Structure 1
């Protein structure tokens, strides 16, 4: 493999793993707590509706969240867990209509973890070099999907940590297979590295292992991040202007939302350029 686009498997359907706020009872605006900080203008405990939430389950300041002191809301992604809990687990009964449905506040964080695992396993199925683990990834994805369709009590009793561990092993193997196509000597191991504010402009990070790396406020402008494994990397305020993220591995939309970039930043297929990036 000489380029990330030359050896790509058909992109799996991730529609069900995309947030659909129209089918959700604003669970992220109620179930989750947040503290007054650079990300949120006020404190809010878990289970209490945000003060900006309207009666129709819509955000009253959605178009001006960043300007209103709520940038944290713009980077959150439930991977479709919100609509699954609202419409499947609780059959379309909202927490306002049925007090018993407030259990969805307990189920939602767990469902979000399960849907995140589904997203990563689905990503593996779109990586042609990872075909040796496709069967195992598909089987585990189907197993987790079956759990997400169970009732609230089963969901709350699920050992998510065990599922995360099994998923992690598959993701690591898939990453190794995919990055094997990077040019010799370029796949640097920087897993978990502290690169806070690092000057990495135009750095050659093709095929690098950046899992869990702290890249907060790092200058990655113009960097070659093709085939780089970015699973869990902290990209808050990282400058990705002009960077090439083509074929980067396990990069998520929330990571992009937390970073800075521009119209010259090259993104992997399936991810969107954040609205707040420079044109």
Structure 2
């Protein structure tokens, strides 16, 4: 099969589409013919050598497509079903991918929209679980206008929380449409939050990694009321928990997001799509922040 890979660290030019052996699912896994695969910031961090040292490396943790092979002990799905999900092997940007967690694609979603859901929904749900966000809580989301931030807004509202979200002024209408109360990020952000929440907030979630963890701790009242998914070093300095997948994944969020999407209550905007062959250009656009919304690779 053809797959995205790099055998040296560097810029987007190191990315190649190569032929590698077809993967096969193990027990409890499925294989799909990939029709779309999500792109995340972790992809270019890997490519630049900021995450893993081994070479070569493949890319991609989320994809949508059609089941073409079932592993042992898999029930509830059949070959030919449309699903989206998570691959633990970091090789979903390819013609075939093995998924460990998946959910049916709602009739209302296409492959690109489905491939945009898994990482954002799981990351957001995991952080909300770890914070303990529930009905009546006020949650501040720093970076609410990105894919994970959008997912966190929608999932927190589903739990009955009040959501305040930071973002640039151009994102405020979109945040209001999701149900969040927007505030501008940058200097003076804590004061703007207190203008609409005078006693502060119950919890804060940082998905932007913009160096505001001390402000979030002050607004939430204690480090244990704040979680970041984007600022590892800042979390250490502020005594805040850094949420990662190896401390337990919220895999149920895939089915929840699918049902909410089918009901018209959950969406992750797709900013641009690219062919698998144009993955280098997708990285250039993503790193430059030149597109709003999720970037997705389409696989023929």
Could you tell me the TM-score, scaled by structure 2's length? 0.28
Q: Which has the higher contact order (CA 8 A, sep 6+)?
A: 2
Higher normalized strand content (fraction of residues) = 2
Could you tell me the TM-score, scaled by structure 1's length? 0.29
